[in-house]
Amino acid sequence: MRRLNRKKTLNLMKELDAFPKVPESYVETSASGGTVSLIAFTTIAFLTIMEFMVYQDTWMKYEYEVDKDFTSKLRINIDITVAMRCQYVGADVLDLAETMVASADGLIYEPVPFELTPQQKELQRMLQLIQSRLQEEHSLQDVIFKSAFKSASTALPPREDNSLQSPDACRIHGHLYVNKVAGNFHITVGKAIPHPRGHAHLAALVSHESYNFSHRIDHLSFGELIPGIINPLDGTEKIASDHNQMFQYFITVVPTKLHTYKISAETHQFSVTERERVINHAAGSHGVSGIFMKYDISSLMVTVTEEHMPFWQFLVRLCGIIGGIFSTTGILHGFGRFVAEIIFCRFRLGSYRSTSVPLPDGHTSNHLPLITDNSTH
């Protein structure tokens, strides 16, 4: 009884077989079929390798939402070298709430030579080249996000000790914590002092002939400091053409959450517009000589997430490639054989021309002769 049930079950499974087997005696191979099969296998192998490379790659997904965090502090990371002595310049931040953040809260004034060493010049040239490429190809920013912490720091290499070169500039570096409102970070003549209506700089003791706001921005960023991230102003160098010159940078800061397979950090991206002009009160160009960075905080927050193709999607795409190529090549091969047979049959029919056969009564017959077995020998 059990054997009978097994036999019925086996017969039922055979009837449900969607892949019937063809006996080998019914299979006919051909040279054209082998050629098409070889082309199909080669194409499948090539596309499989390409699909595997796509599966290994990742991409960045951007999502936007309203930034609801208004109470936390914003960190500004600064590394700027000004071509003036440290006792002549002062740096501080003044925001829209009239809150002053002095440079003494986190910035260091370091006397250094303004001229760079050959190694530092090479890194600065590389940063400027990357900046020019980023302005043309915005997709490179995704590569920089994914390579964060893997690449070397963008800071300039340390300067070799050279006692022959006297320090004629001031390197202002460090970080400040400010309110998350629009503000103005500036470097101008004289040290900043608090004032009931704002703040002021003691510039009266510095002669105008010593003004020189040529500067180099080695690094400027907002938020958490992430090594390997290149910011828009990194590597910027400006040479003043006049003693009384103002350099202005209008910055829009966008809060950014970065989530990759290497890091997860809260930082800020920013865009910048530059302007520079000579202060000449007689010509109507009013202002104060110095370097002014006016920043504004965007109300939108960007979440940048590194994504990867799921393994099931890779299998589906791979099955589609294999099945699609087999089906397509089979259709093309069948259509090619059909066309070839039509052309070959017409060629054979054309070879049997009508012949004239003489008859005993003197007439001729234009009918095709019958092909018999005897006539083929």
pLDDT at 30: 74
Cβ neighbours for 265, distance < 8 A, ≥ 6 positions apart: 224, 226, 257, 258
Distances (CA, A) of 26 to 21, 38, 236, 276, 315: 11, 22, 77, 86, 33
Total-model pTM: 0.69
pLDDT at 349: 64
Q: What residues form DSSP beta bridges with 301?
A: 65
- pLDDT of 330 above 70: yes
What residue ranges do the domains of the chain occupy?
A: 32-67+299-329, 68-253+273-298
pLDDT at 377: 43
Cβ neighbours for 45, distance < 8 A, ≥ 6 positions apart: none
Beta pairing, strands 169-179 & 215-223: unpaired
* Residue 107 in tokens: 């910035």
Q: Max alpha carbon distance in the chain (Å)?
A: 140
Q: For 166-187, what is each residue's pLDDT tens digit?
A: 788 999 999 999 888 899 999 9
- CA neighbours closer than 13 Å in the CB half-sphere of residue 160: 6
Q: For 84-104, what is each residue's pLDDT tens digit?
A: 988 888 888 888 877 777 766
pLDDT at 293: 93
Residue 242 to residue 211: CA distance in whole angstroms: 9
Residue 258 to residue 150: CA distance in whole angstroms: 15
* Residue 199 in tokens: 């703040």
Q: For 101-146, what is each residue's pLDDT tens digit?
A: 776 678 899 998 888 888 888 888 888 888 887 777 766 677 777 6
pLDDT at 214: 92
